[in-house]
Amino acid sequence: MRTVLLFLSILFTLTGCVSPDRSKAVVVIDAGHGGHDSGAISGEKLEKNLVLSIAKKVRKALRRNGHPVYLTRSGDSFLKLGQRTRIADRKEAMIFLSIHANASPNPKKNELLSGVETYYLQKSRDARSQRIAERENAAVLMGTDELSKDVIIDSVLNGPKIVESHKLAIDIQREMLKRMKGEYHDVKDGGVRPGPFYVLVGASRPSILVEVGYLSNTKERQRLFESDYQNAIAKGIASGIGRYLDNRKKEIDI
């Protein structure tokens, strides 16, 4: 066993793998949109403000668990595509997490659509995933031509991080729902889904995007701007990251 552990430790040193020790696992949290890009707008509430508030609560919860944490933006500023993920490279982050809020594409469905969804980067034929990705991509892709879009997305789709991102998405979605349903029984589980989100493209580490709820749904919008609800989301995300790292550590220990 000792030889195996020694071998693994040499292997990880040589391959540059980062230890899944929580206290060393740097997390970068990206609050979506910012500046002139408000994201979804509903009932005079702006997505960019909501996701920044939640990102700060996630930072607090993760720091309490011992993680070094960085935000891509801590104020109301716009970041270009690349700036968001570049910070993850600079800080040698182990996990990249982008936070967004959803909106119904059809006013008739405003009160029908609600719930939490977690996405990992993958081309998807699912019309709903494509529509949501298109909306989230709009501002970050301004000025990028179709060919470049295909090149950047293809460059990562076969990478090993896709599998890890999927695992991370499952753990975060599960823990978020568990935490939220404890206090708000009717929260809808929108599931883990693949989607072509460009903010995840440049990240060479497990990376996911959380849609915390629908601003277009009156009841959910009210909850989303309540501090207790935001804390439930934040603690759920933090415990999902903890679970993912624990599972990864177990895989290494075997």
User: Does the protein bind Zn ion through residue 167 (CB under 5 A)?
Assistant: no
User: Does the protein bind Zn ion through residue 100 (CB under 5 A)?
Assistant: yes
Least distance CB 103 / Zn ion (angstroms)? 9
Nearest to 92 by CA among 75, 68, 73, 74: 68
Nearer to Zn ion, 100 or 205 (CB): 100
Please state, as a whole number, how many other Cβ atoms lie within 10 Å of the Cβ of residue 125. Answer: 7
> How does DSSP classify residue 228?
H
Nearer to Zn ion, 195 or 242 (CB): 195
Question: Taking contact as CB under 5 A, which single stretch among the options 2-10, 110-118, 136-144, 212-220 is the one that binds Zn ion?
Answer: 136-144
Question: Taking contact as CB under 5 A, which single stretch among the options 32-40, 124-132, 146-154, 200-208 is the one that binds Zn ion?
Answer: 32-40
Least distance CB 77 / Zn ion (angstroms)? 15
Residue 3, SS3?
helix
How far is 177 from 188, CA to CA, in rounded Å? Answer: 8
Nearer to Zn ion, 39 or 236 (CB): 39
Question: Taking contact as CB under 5 A, which single stretch among the options 86-94, 98-106, 110-118, 126-134 is the one that binds Zn ion?
Answer: 98-106
Question: Taking contact as CB under 5 A, which single stretch among the options 74-82, 87-95, 96-104, 109-117 is the one that binds Zn ion?
Answer: 96-104
Residue 221, by phi and psi: left (phi above 0), alpha (psi -120 to 50) or beta?
alpha
How far is 120 from 207, CA to CA, in rounded Å? Answer: 7
Q: 67: which residues sit within 8 A by CB, 6+ positions away?
A: 22, 23, 25, 26, 27, 241
Question: Binding residue for Zn ion (CB under 5 A) from 39, 115, 206, 240?
Answer: 39
Q: What would the two tokens of residue 36 be?
A: 């002139």
Least distance CB 101 / Zn ion (angstroms)? 6
Which residue's beta carbon is nearest to the bound Zn ion?
A: 100
User: Does the protein bind Zn ion through residue 136 (CB under 5 A)?
Assistant: yes
Nearer to Zn ion, 39 or 240 (CB): 39
Least distance CB 33 / Zn ion (angstroms)? 6
How far is 229 from 236, CA to CA, in rounded Å? Answer: 11
Q: Which residues of 205-219 are buried (b: 16+ CB within 10 A; e: fewer)?
A: bbbbbbbbbbbbbee
CA quadruple 36, 217, 220, 136: dihedral sign: negative
Q: What would the two tokens of residue 17 be?
A: 């793998």
Nearer to Zn ion, 39 or 206 (CB): 39
User: Does the protein bind Zn ion through residue 171 (CB under 5 A)?
Assistant: no
Number of residues that bind Zn ion (CB under 5 A): 4
Q: What would the two tokens of residue 111 be?
A: 């009160």
User: Does the protein bind Zn ion through residue 32 (CB under 5 A)?
Assistant: yes
Residues at the contact surface with Zn ion, assessed by CB under 5 A: 32, 39, 100, 136
